[in-house]
Amino acid sequence: MDRAKQKKIRNIRVILTNIFMSISVVAIVFVLMLIAMGFSFNAEGKLEQAGLLQLNSYPSGASVEIDKSTQFGHTEFRKMLSAGKHSVYVDKEGYDHWEQNVNIDAGLFTRVAWIRLFPKNADISNVSSFKPLRLSAFSPDRRWLIAAEQDSSDLIRINIQDEKLKHDKISLANLLSTSTANAQTGTIEIEDWNENCNKILVRWTRDEETTTWHLLDLEHSENSINLSSKLSLDFTDVQIMNDSASKLWALESGKLHSIDLDNLSISGPIAENVIIFAHNRDTLAFVSTGKDEETGKTKRYLMTYKDGEKGSTHIRTLSGKKDFAVRLAMGSHWNEEWIALQAGSDAVIYSGRYPSFGKDETDKLKVKLEQSLEFAPNILTANQKQRIIVFAGETSYFYYDIETEDNGAVALKNNIASVDWFDDYLLWTNVNNKIVVRDFDGSNRRTVAKKASANRPSVVSENNRWLYYFSETEEKVTLKRYKID
């Protein structure tokens, strides 16, 4: 026997085996990668890429139908689906249902996180009673209720997440640095909250000519500040810049300033002839007037400014009549910074990165939407997650989703005075003393409470356990709630 020949044959077999195993491993990895990326063969034998759908509902544990087929599993729910639109139906025993056509993009993750189910037979309780109120507001984080009675010099703070509600009373006289008698007069409006919702910016109007601004510390009232007297300025708008509320933006006689409360100092004018401004922490967007160098005509300009920089950056020259309504909003979702502008009936949304002064960076902030609406909005708002932007009028609204770029107009059945956020994704309106909610895209319209005061707020608590609203008579205001999870 030729041993050399046998050894050579064995070596060839080993090499071929290793090559085969390597090819097999690569093929298996490749197939697994295709599966992970959502590729599969359809009924016609063609290779197609699917997308992953995730459904989150409140309460969880709801059953799911997709394209009228009952699914194995409950919310929280995940499934790979072919690209395109799919009908989704979600329900739970004892609750109403939710349904929508969901668009799945090939190779992408689609998360529907706003499915809210309400009890069919709510057990409504009266949890607090007040004398007629001059102030009632839920905090943006949906954790607190702030209230003040007409004939009281106390501010009432309630944690609405608790099973048993406790009324913490804070002296308005101390907060406003005034006498008890004066604290009971005039109108108090909450204009802004800090991130932790333990400080509020208040506009106190005692008569038509006397308005003062106050930063109220709800946990340490001795730290509250009368901004108008401390800084000796007549503000028309003030907004909180940072989480601790130690820095503010302020508008006074058309001049924009930054305020440092740690040093009780105010900057020189950042910009002049300012009509309106909005901010996203340390970055401002504002509309100001100025003369065009070529024509000499007065025009309006959209500008941005970052705290500490030497100047502002021009973003856009506004077209149209001088007297059209202008509104601004700013925010950031994930790593996407955005500006929303309303000029008359025109809606414009920029997103990307805010440019810095003196650098050629304006291309970083791109127009994602520019549309002439069929109505002139009187409200421009964004949800707490700064993902959904809404331009609202009296009988319709227009929404834009920063994450998906989905947008559309929604017609309302009734004239409304306002559109407010019920939670992170639901909008609510008061229609004939009924609380009517709908998803931000207008779908799943439902009446969730009756005999509700048209002049008071309504909300779902941040822990998703309770729905709160008010009823009201001439003698008494009642805070009502029922459990939703």
Residue 360 has pLDDT above 50, yes or no: yes
pLDDT above 90 covers what percent of the chain? 78
- The secondary element (H helix, E strand) that includes residue 6 is helix 3-36
Task: For residues 127 and 150, give the distance between their C-alpha atoms in angstroms, rounded to a whole number.
Answer: 20
Instruction: Tell me what pLDDT residue 23 has.
Output: 74
Cα dist. 47→39, 82, 103, 106, 240 in Å? 7, 11, 20, 12, 54
pLDDT digits (tens, 9 = 90+) for 330-344: 999 998 999 999 999
In the predicted structure, residue 415 carries a pLDDT above the cut 70: yes
Instruction: Work out the pLDDT band at 297, boundaries 50, 70, 90.
Output: confident
Report pLDDT for 425. 96
Average pLDDT, integer, range 380-385: 96
pLDDT in tens, 309-321: 999 999 999 976 6
pLDDT attached to residue 2: 64
Tokens of 105: 């993009």
**405: its two tokens:** 């770029």
β-strands 225-226, 265-266 pairing:
unpaired
Is residue 41's pLDDT more than 70?
no
Q: What is the pLDDT of residues 239-260, one digit of tens each?
A: 999 999 999 999 999 999 999 9
Q: Is the pLDDT of residue 34 over 50?
A: no
Residue with tokens 């050894």: 7
Average pLDDT over residues 149-174: 94
What CA–CA distance (Å, rounded) separates 312 from 301? 11
pLDDT of residue 417: 81
Residue 299 included in any domain: yes
How would you label 119-141 residue by residue, b for 16+ Cβ within 10 Å and e otherwise?
beebebeebbebeebbbbbbbbe
Better-scored residue on pLDDT, 29 or 481: 481
Q: Which of 377, 397, 421 is the last residue of a domain?
A: 421
Domains in the chain, number: 2
The answer to the question of residue 242 being in a domain is no
Residue 208: pLDDT above 80? no
Decide which of 308 and 47 is more confident. Answer: 308
Is 216 within the bounds of a domain? no
Q: Is residue 28 part of a domain?
A: no
Query: Does any domain span residue 104?
Result: yes
Confidence of residue 27 (pLDDT cuts 50, 70, 90): low
Residue 321 is predicted with a pLDDT of: 64
pLDDT value at 28 more than 80: no
For 24-38, 93-107, 418-432, 461-475, which range has the lowest pLDDT when averaged over its residues? 24-38
DSSP structure string for 159-173? ETTSSS--EEEEEHH
Cis peptide before 59 (omega within 30 of 0): yes
CATH number of the domain that 112 lies in? 2.60.40.1120
Q: Give per-residue burial for 250-260: e unless 16+ CB within 10 Å, then b.
A: bbbeebbbbbe
404 in a domain, yes or no? yes
pLDDT at residue 47 is higher than 60: no
pLDDT band at 107 (very low <50, low <70, confident <90, very high): confident
49 pLDDT tier (thresholds 50, 70, 90): confident
Q: Is the dihedral of CA 210, 215, 217, 220 positive or negative?
A: negative
Last residue of a domain, one of 83, 100, 116: 116
Of 421, 439, 459, the domain-final residue: 421
Residue 46: the pLDDT is 55
Average pLDDT over residues 271-286: 96
Domain limits for position 71: 48-116
Residue 70 falls within a domain, yes or no? yes
Query: What's the pLDDT score for residue 24?
Result: 66
Q: Is the model's pLDDT at 3 over the cut of 50?
A: yes
Query: Quick check: is 443 in a domain?
Result: no
Give the contacts of 435 (CB within 8 A, at least 6 positions apart): 428, 447, 448, 449, 450, 452, 458, 469
Which residue carries 């997103």 as its tokens? 351
* pLDDT category of residue 29 using cuts at 50, 70 and 90: low
Residues ≥6 apart with Cβ < 8 Å to 229:
177, 212
DSSP reduced 3-state for 99: strand
CA angle 194, 196, 198 (to 5 degrees): 75
* Average pLDDT across the chain, whole number: 90
